[in-house]
Amino acid sequence: MATRRISRHFVTIQDGRWGSRQVHYRRAGSGPVLVMLHQSPLSSRDMIATMQRWQRHFTCIAPDTPGYGLSDPLGVAYAEMDDFADAVSEFLDAIGVRKAALYGFHTGAMMAAQLAARHPARVHVLASNGYVIPTEEERAELVANYLPAFEPSWDGAHLAWLWSRMREQLIFFPWYRKDAADRMDVGLPPPERLQDGLVEFLRADDHYRVAYRAAFTMQSDRTLRELSVPSLITAATPDPTSRYLERATDTAPCVRVEARPTAVETLDLCLAHLRKARSSAAPRLRPTAPIAGRLWQQMLDVPGGQLRVRRNTDAAGRTVVVLHDAAGSADTVAALAASFIGHRPVLAIDLPGHGESDAPLARGAVTVTAYARALRSALDALQIRECDIVGVWGGGLVGLELAHVAPRRVRRLVLAGPPWFDRALQAELRARYAPDIRPDAHGGHLLQAWQFIRDQGLFWPWFRTTREGIIRGAVHVDTRMVHRRVLEVLRAPAWRAAYRAHFSYPVKSRLRSVRVATLLAAADWDPMREYALAAAAAQPQSPFCALPPDPARWGETLLPFLNA
């Protein structure tokens, strides 16, 4: 049977226990509702393979736990499993599910069991795969050692530590102990799969500790005594959590405890258990509701996939569309986009193959024109007929191309840091600017990515590390900024192709012929400032505007031009 599409959505919880927040979730299949809760520090992405196995039996709905994946955190440094259970209950209310079958894996297994014990009227049947029942001594040890603080280091050393940490948790359990009794009987995955987990960890950042800690501090033996719905507690024999099943002896009569030799057999056992009980019909999808005063998220359906946007609709008027550069996303221009809140509707989009968007462009077809076409599809999906565009570096080229092919869609255009390059520099940048950073089994590629991004703030071009290449003036290598940009490189399959597309674009001829009012801009720290000034000198109809150092203030600087 062909695999049906897994779609992605955001639901807004308005004025809940933790205020207004958004939950990102995946949905697939048809039939009765099955809610699926993932392990820490991952996201619903970890449920994709299981959703594909089970989608012909259920409408599978897999949310990102608060603070993981793309879901907003609860806003607290410490939370108990009761809190996460209540948060899932709020999510069910928000999507219109009164009662559902429930499956959880590892941390999700703990969360699912606590939800079933705390809110039994919401659960038809429960399957917990990888349930942990530590002793008090083990619990204290796990809390003390399993969850060190995660803080970026100026030299990228935190990435080397994290890669080793991700490997180690597949070699030993707990990962910090190195005894023969703690050695796991599994091999290491290929580096590409290891990197998938690392990227998920980076999405959660230091918040990764919150749900982990809730799972370790949960009185999990008591929860098994409090269950009142048909419940399966299981684990595959190679899974380190299987050692805890023998402790599940004092349970409620509705609880069944059973292991299986392999992960596949364990999933089959869970499926058989979940299918025994009736479940509620699937809810209709609801439009994503806005949140006042901040950027909120939405997934858009476009030809070939889905695109993520961050937006705000508090103000009236023409929408300002903010476009990021290659190896960027709506997150890297979030401060700039937020500077328009209360003045104009604003929209920041993850271009295809960047951030959290799919890559619906055909392989080999990554061009500025293709990006402009995708942007047009996104505007169509939102029924935005005309807009102003503020594009940063290569993002400005996407806006310029849309203004060229659809001048009635774009009223005003700002190119922040326009890459006004001659052909020789374009050729050199195509050949050298975007290095091939492939996952390496020992993690060396992470330091390569770190130095590549950091050198972008020190030299222009970054690979020209001679005196002549030094960027003079303010140093733009804030550790948190570099860390965020490295995450963009690791999660964006199209970033190298996007750079090459930007460096192939005929920016000079396009800027000469564009019929849309255009402003060229740059901050003092931007190495593109000299190119913006040169472009303005060559194109008197496109004046230059000096931008303040902080992108959070660019909106107030640009609004007079956009409102003219």
* pLDDT of amino acid 542: 96
In a domain, 166, yes or no: no
The model's pLDDT over 10-30, given as tens digits with 9 standing for 90+, comes to 999 999 999 999 999 999 999
C-alpha span between 85 and 142 (Å, rounded): 21
Report the domain count for the chain: 2
C-alpha span between 128 and 35 (Å, rounded): 12
In a domain, 1, yes or no: no
Tokens of 450: 């770190």
One DSSP character per residue, 81-133 reads: HHHHHHHHHHHHHHHT-SSEEEEEETHHHHHHHHHHHH-GGGEEEEEEES---
C-alpha span between 295 and 310 (Å, rounded): 6
In a domain, 535, yes or no: yes
* pLDDT of amino acid 455: 97
Coil, strand or helix at 299: strand
- Strands laid side by side in the 7-16 sheet: 7-16, 19-29, 59-63, 33-37, 100-105, 123-129, 231-234, 255-257
User: 222 and 341: one domain?
Assistant: no
C-alpha span between 226 and 143 (Å, rounded): 24
**Orientation angle between helical segments 368-381 and 394-405, nearest 10 degrees:** 70
In a domain, 254, yes or no: yes
In a domain, 159, yes or no: no
Q: For the chain, which ranges sit under pLDDT 70?
A: 1-4, 363-364
Tokens of 104: 């959880």
Q: Is 243 exposed, middle or buried (0-12, 13-18, 19+ CB in 10 A)?
A: middle
Tokens of 18: 């933790």
Domain range for 511 is 296-563
Coil, strand or helix at 531: helix
C-alpha span between 276 and 292 (Å, rounded): 43
In a domain, 291, yes or no: no
- Spell out the residues 6+ positions from residue 225 whose beta carbon is closer than 8 angstroms to its own: 250, 251, 252
User: 373 and 235: one domain?
Assistant: no
User: 250 and 301: one domain?
Assistant: no
C-alpha span between 135 and 127 (Å, rounded): 22
pTM over 0.85: yes
User: 235 and 129: one domain?
Assistant: yes
In a domain, 178, yes or no: no
* pLDDT of amino acid 1: 34
C-alpha span between 208 and 529 (Å, rounded): 39
CB atoms under 10 Å from CB of 558, counted, come to: 23
User: 240 and 327: one domain?
Assistant: no
User: 422 and 503: one domain?
Assistant: yes
| Chain centroid offset of residue 157 CA | 22
User: 220 and 341: one domain?
Assistant: no
User: 352 and 247: one domain?
Assistant: no
In a domain, 519, yes or no: yes
Last residue of a domain, one of 275, 305, 335: 275
User: 211 and 301: one domain?
Assistant: no
255 φ, ψ (degrees, to nearest 5): -95, 130
User: 343 and 249: one domain?
Assistant: no
Coil, strand or helix at 374: helix
The model's pLDDT over 127-162, given as tens digits with 9 standing for 90+, comes to 999 999 999 999 999 999 999 999 999 999 999 999
User: 46 and 136: one domain?
Assistant: yes
C-alpha span between 115 and 199 (Å, rounded): 28
User: 270 and 352: one domain?
Assistant: no
In CATH, what number is assigned to the domain containing residue 527? 3.40.50.1820
